[in-house]
Structure formats: structure tokens, C-alpha cells
Amino acid sequence: MNKVSLISQVFIVFLFCAACDSKSEVDQIVDNAIAAHGGDHFSTSLIQFDFRDIHYTIYKTADRYEYIREFSDSLGNVKDVLNNSGFVRTIDGNKIDTLSQESIGKYSRSVNSVAYFAYLPYGLNDAASLKSKLGETQLNDKKYDLIKVTFAKDGGGEDFDDEFLYWIDQSTHYIDFMAYSYHTDGGGVRMREVTKVQEIGGIRFQNYLNFKPADEKISVENMQKLYESGELELLSEIDLENIEVAPLTN
């Protein structure tokens, strides 16, 4: 090996180490959480599951995604597809071209919301995600890093003004709790607690208890206090069923 080649390799290693060191604390915490929940399996897998009698098929890589939901109602067999090209609804195989922009936005948000929560914490490194560490906290005798995520207006979607909190276990790097505020469909605040956990295809899937406060205009930062004092009402259970994970081939 000549001297120039050796110097080049040393310089590359130096740049790599510098890049690692330049990562912020919150980025490292989120990266550890993604690795603990599934890591590279998220971007190399096709995932299917049932949620509230609706079947979902989803994948998400660094540069493309597709979220599909299928269900039957009085209109027939409905299939919604949301991907890089936009949103399309078909009924009994026929494309619906008469959807209003309001309906397209509503259906898109609904499909995207289910996919987002199912893929957590993978989506926390999306380009539009703005992450900050609020500090460290203790909940149910465990120590957590409390991470807040907001979204840039450019690329953050119609609900870019939503706010999320994630309680990331300092030992396991799992997300055991989350809370969020949203402004669509009347708005509100929610807190979720992990219940059942399934690991399939290298990915950790989590079910949740979904709580709401009496006053849904409170700050999302107040949710832990309300949870600990028993002032949150159990609204619903978030359960993913019949989960299947296969290698992404296309």
C-alpha cells in the first residue's frame, strides 16, 4: 500500500468518526430506539396487519413508501393507496375520480396515521421531524429520556403542527409511553401506554392503551402528571392483529 493511499484511508476514518461524534444527544437516543425496535428491518420489510377490521399493507424506505388499507362496506370492497405519487381510492377495482380534496386529505391522514404509529420509532428520523430532548424523567419506577418531536411546515404534511412526546427507556431503548396533541378533526390530546408486545420478522410491534384528559386543550407536556394522578380516561385500545412480515422485494 502506498503512502498516499494510506493517508486517504486514515482521512476517511477520521471523517467517519467526526460524523459520529457530531450527532446530537437526541439523535443518538432516537437512533438507539430505532435499532432496539427493528433497525434495518423497517426499511427492508413488507408489513401486513389488521386493525379494527381493516387490513393494512405497508412499506417505507429512505426514498419511497406505500400504505394500503382494504375493507368492505356498503359501497363494496374499498382499497385506499397512499404513496409517493399521492392518494388513490378504488371500489370493487374501479378508480374513484370524484373524490373532493377534502376527502382525499381526510383519507390520506387516516391511512398515514395508522402507518406512522405502526412503524414507530422508525419515522422519527424523517427529514421533516424536529427532535429535542426535554430532559430525563421517571415513570412507574423506570428512568426515561423524554423526547419531543414537532414537524417542519415544509414536508410535514397537513398536520405539521402536531406535537409528540416519547418516553424512551434509558436501559432498553424501548418507547413505553407516548403522548401527542393534534389539531385535525376537532383536535385533542392523547397518551398511550404499551401493553402487549410482539416481535415478528425482527420488528417489535406494540399495542397500546389510549388515554385522554378531561380538558383536551391542555399542553401535551402535562400528560405524565395527569397519568400518574389517575386523571386520564381510558378511551380505547390500539391492537394490531394478524401481523405478517416479509422481505421487501420490489
Predicted pLDDT at 187: 86
Predicted pLDDT at 189: 97
d(CA 42, CA 61) in angstroms, rounded, equals 8
- Shared domain check, 166 and 103: no
pLDDT digits (tens, 9 = 90+) for 168-201: 999 999 999 999 999 887 889 999 999 999 999 9
Predicted pLDDT at 141: 94
Distances (CA, A) of 139 to 43, 72, 122, 157: 31, 41, 23, 32
d(CA 140, CA 90) in angstroms, rounded, equals 46
- Shared domain check, 61 and 150: no
- Shared domain check, 196 and 168: yes
Distances (CA, A) of 113 to 101, 109, 118: 18, 6, 9
DSSP-H helix ranges across the chain = 3-22, 25-37, 101-119, 223-228
Establish if 28 belongs to a structural domain: no
Predicted pLDDT at 155: 52
What string of pLDDT tens digits covers the 250 residues of the chain? 554 444 445 444 444 444 445 679 999 999 999 999 999 999 999 999 999 999 999 999 988 999 999 999 998 999 999 999 999 999 999 999 999 999 999 999 999 999 999 999 998 998 889 999 999 999 999 999 999 999 887 654 555 578 999 999 999 999 999 999 998 878 899 999 999 999 999 999 999 999 999 999 999 999 999 999 999 999 999 999 999 999 998 6
Q: How do beta strands 233-238 and 203-212 pair?
A: antiparallel
- Shared domain check, 49 and 144: no
Structural domain of 106: 45-119
Establish if 31 belongs to a structural domain: no
Which residue matches cell numbers 503512502? 3
Q: How many domains does the chain have?
A: 2
Predicted pLDDT at 154: 65
Q: How do beta strands 76-83 and 65-73 pair?
A: antiparallel
Q: Which grid cell sits at 234?
A: 381510558
Predicted pLDDT at 223: 97
DSSP class per residue in 148-193: EEEE-TTTS-TTTT-EEEEEEETTT--EEEEEEEE-GGG-EEEEEE
3-state helix, strand, coil in the chain (%, to 5): 30, 45, 25
Predicted pLDDT at 77: 97
Tell me the residue type at 224.
Q
- Shared domain check, 134 and 68: no
Domain boundary among 89, 119, 149: 119
The continuous run of DSSP H or E covering 141 comes out as none
Paired strand residues for 199: 204
